[in-house]
Chains A and B, each alone.
Chain A
Amino acid sequence: MEKFISFTERATPLYPNYRPMYKVSQILMVLYYNGFAGKASLLKLHLFSWGLKSTENLDTLKTFVTSNFKNKLHFFGIESTLNRALNLAYAEKLIDFKNGSYSLLEKGRNFAESIDKDDSLFISEKQVLKLIGKKIPEKVINNLVNQWNNV
């Protein structure tokens, strides 16, 4: 007599960081709070995306900025999910891509503003992003990346 074992595929829990709307909201917040004139390079977005991944990362990023970039930031991660989220946001006409930098479009800005107004959303994230503000010039990020290249 033959016997069969059957498997049922169960849904897997997923980190919010891998969810489209979550990541897209983060991108919009970063552009809104931290982009010069609502603009930021891909690397800058990666830096912040890495920062928003955990409280430790966010702390490191915060000290990096508050120490006037004297504290070493050895490494920040690059992840493909951010690129996918950027594509989605672009297709949704929330952001634009021109001359190597991303910027907020009307629809995206409105959404970022509504997140800004909602006191129950991204409480600590917003606090730190606002504190960091527009204090990270693209040059600092480029320097960081150059250091890696030279190692």
Chain B
Amino acid sequence: MFRIRALKINIATNKGTYGTPLIKFEDGLTIIKGFNSTGKSTLFQSILYCLGLEELIGGKNEKTMQSVLKSEILDNDSNIEANVIESNVLLEIEGTRTVTIRRYINSEAKSSGLVEVFDGKLLTEPNSYDYQPMYVHDKGAATDDNIFGFHSFLEKFIGWNLPNVQYKDGGQRKLYLQNIFPSFIIEQKAGWTDFLSTIPYYSLLDKETRAVEFILNLDSWKIQQLKSQLKQEKNEIIENWKTLYLRLKALANQIACEVRGVEISPSIIDSKNAIFLSYPTEDKNYPLADYIKILEEEYQSIAILEIPNVGEQSSESEQKINFLNERLSTLSINLSNRINKKNLAISKYKSFKERLIELENDKMQNEYHLKVKNKGAEAGFEIAKDTCPYCSQGLNDSLLPKDIEIVPMQIEENIEYLKAQINLIKIYIKNHENDIAVSEKEIEILNQNISETRSEIRTLKTELTSDNRLPSIEMIEKRIKLRNRLDLYRRRYEELFSYQEEFKNLSDEWTRILGREKEIPASLSPFDYKKIGSLEQDFKLLLKEFHYRSKPIESISISRETLLPVVDKYSLKFDSSASDFTRAIWSYIIALKETSTKFSGNHPKLFILDEPGQQEAGDNDLQFLLKKLGNYQDTQSIVFSSFHQSEETFIACTQNVNYKLVDLGTEKFIKRIEN
């Protein structure tokens, strides 16, 4: 709930104190009637100003306010009567409790960004209440962690809890109060030009829709929030999966194996055993378990052999040395080939990288050009419109001499062309990165083979030159090496189990999130549909009641996307006469309140309407509106109107209407106050 309880304007001038008497507001309808330039708008604006909502009138701080509060007070003949020294507005409001707000418009001592909140009914029950200074339009004035932020205070005071919403810069921030209030406080100039038209621009996507969602307390923003939360969880899994994959890959590389069954990005894994390591040989790839078996067999076959003496081995050793030497030279040739290939790839990679930098620079310059061209067109330059300022002939967007016969690309096309080039180069770069990585791995394996072969040759040679009676070192070494190798593979094989476990857990989590994503409705929940259906029904009933005639009522609906009234997907605005459109706005704001009340939404049950009888909406219909508002017991409505400066109109419009009147009369309402 939110109520305006009392208002008072104080102005100190060089001719004494000026101001308004205390104006009190009760529940139900209050009509503020006054001739033009008696100060109606000043009162209306003062309420918004006190609430820090002057952006709804179009601006920030004191500059939005009328000169009577800023510089000079005029008499009824528009002559300067007094000069303003200091002015402020006091507003008593009721929410979770009752407080009084004071905000200065013109003051040497107090900034207009300052709001003083008195903890009590300063206007209706004057007393010494303690007060706290708070700030509006300050960075952080609306955020929770700023205890001096007035709007953060006001939000809690009304009993709201504003959601975080997505802004165009991609950030998630709180919805502002200024975004909500235009659905029940309507200003006379811009307010009647469109639905919720006075919401200031905060680079918020679909700002009107966000306001309606909040008023009706739809699930849709919760759905949005859930979606972004799931997205975050997904990103976490993607990150963890990647780390795990890279660790497993490093482990596989250590033992010259390849990872099978998982890729770098998450997937659904049925069984842990689907993930394994594979050992590639020239003719066949062995799963690690099988390869370990082969090693075991080989080891056993050697282990049962008796270790021969060097003498027995010598001719065999010589043969072996020859064979190994041959192998060594083949390996060396391969190695040098691979190194060449790798270096070639690296040099290509580098030149592509340079080209990419050039292209990106080029693209940036082209974007600069597009910008200055648009800027120039805004400033009315002929050159920017591709016309020669001398001869009004086409310029072709080129500075090249006319006798070079080329047709240059248009700038947008040029940028697209560069983007395509950049993408292509990026693909080349990626391919070369892969090639380099593959070559590096091959080189590593070759190096390893070479060093193993060398060590074998060394051993054999040592043997040939040693005592014939000694046992063969080669055989012993072969045994030890094989034993070590077997141990290493067994250890890694055991480590694999924990990876399988972790991958399976991540995969299960991944499956769960994908499932939840499927469960979330696209944007609206079934309950939301029910609420919007009810809004549509209420809206159409009211249109009928207010005699809307521009379009058949049956053809009108509330868009499920924008939550605003439409006819065949187009805004109602385009199809309605000016007076009918004003009626449509009445209907919409009242329908919002009714639907919100029905489903206990967030509408504060407050209306402040400035000159709702715009565009000759018809006195008859204005009477319907006032009657409707007057009949709401649980709602406070404050309506400002001049009733065309005619007593007859006023009487006609208020026939059978329950209301309280604040009559500003026919002369200036802000007057000198005699002490």
Contacts and interface: CB of A to CB of B under 8 A. Distances in A.
A141 interface: no
Interface in B349-386: 361-362, 365-366, 368-369, 371-373, 375-376, 379, 381-384
Contacts of B147: none
A76 B665 CA distance: 79
A12 B399 contact: no
B375 to A, nearest CB: 6
Nearest to B405: A9
Given A11-B409, A21-B372, A22-B368, A80 B401 contact: yes
Interface residue range, chain A: 35 or more
Given A9-B407, A16-B369, A92 B398 contact: no
Contact of B369 (A10, A21, A118): A21
A81 interface: yes
A92 to B, nearest CB: 5
A55 B390 CA distance: 33
A151 interface: no
Interface stretch (A30-38, A62-70, A106-114, A127-135): A106-114
A24 interface: yes
A121 B372 CA distance: 8
Contacts of A12: 406-409
A4 interface: no
Contacts of B362: 15-16
Given A11-B407, A11-B413, A20 B383 contact: yes
B414 interface: yes
A21 B408 CA distance: 14
Contact of B399 (A13, A20, A25): A20
A22 B361 contact: no
Interface in A1-50: 9-25
A121 B381 contact: no
A55 B414 CA distance: 21
Contacts of B411: 19
Nearest to A115: B372
A22 B381 CA distance: 13
Contacts of A111: 375-376, 379, 381
A61 interface: no
B399 A114 contact: no
B418 A16 contact: no
A9 B409 CA distance: 11
Interface in A59-100: 80-81, 84-85, 87-89, 91-92, 94
B417 interface: yes
B344 interface: no
B398 A18 contact: yes
Contacts of A15: 362, 365
Given A19-B369, A121-B368, A13 B400 contact: no
B399 A110 contact: no
Given A15-B362, A16-B368, A121-B368, A88 B407 contact: no
Nearest to A88: B383
A15 B369 CA distance: 10
Nearest to A9: B407
B410 interface: yes
A120 interface: yes
A91 B369 contact: no
A21 B409 contact: no
Given A12-B409, A14-B398, A91-B389, A21 B376 contact: yes
B397 interface: yes
A11 B410 contact: yes
A38 B372 CA distance: 20
A21 B369 CA distance: 7
Contacts of A121: 368, 371-372
Q: Give the most central of B362, B381, B384, B413: most A CB within 10 Å.
A: B381
Contact of B365 (A16, A91, A92): A16
Contacts of B418: 13
A20 B395 contact: yes
A84 B398 CA distance: 10
A15 B368 CA distance: 12
B365 A22 contact: yes
Listed residue (A16, A23, A25, A111) with the most chain B CB atoms within 10 angstroms of its CB? A16
Contacts of B417: 13
Contacts of B398: 14, 18-20
Nearest to A12: B406
A12 to B, nearest CB: 5
A43 B362 CA distance: 26
B375 A115 contact: yes
Given A11-B410, A12-B407, A114-B375, A22 B369 contact: yes
A30 to B, nearest CB: 14
A45 to B, nearest CB: 14
A13 B416 CA distance: 10
Contact of A120 (B371, B381, B408): B371
Contacts of A87: 390
B357 to A, nearest CB: 9
A120 B367 CA distance: 10
B388 interface: yes
A18 B399 contact: yes
Contacts of B365: 15-17, 22
B386 to A, nearest CB: 8
A81 B395 CA distance: 13
A14 B408 contact: yes
Most A-side CB within 10 Å, residue of B383, B390, B409, B417? B383
Contacts of B375: 111, 114-115, 118
Contacts of B369: 16, 19, 21-22
Given A15-B365, A20-B398, A81-B400, 19 more contacts: A12-B406, A13-B414, A14-B397, A16-B362, A16-B369, A18-B399, A19-B411, A20-B383, A20-B399, A21-B369, A21-B372, A21-B383, A25-B372, A25-B376, A88-B383, A88-B395, A91-B390, A111-B375, A111-B379
12 contacts: A14-B398, A14-B400, A15-B365, A21-B381, A21-B383, A23-B399, A25-B372, A88-B383, A92-B382, A92-B383, A114-B379, A121-B372
Leading 9 A-B pairs by shortest Cβ distance: A91-B389, A81-B399, A14-B408, A16-B365, A11-B409, A22-B369, A25-B372, A21-B373, A16-B369
Interface of B: 361-362, 365-366, 368-369, 371-373, 375-376, 379, 381-384, 388-390, 395, 397-401, 406-411, 413-414, 417-418
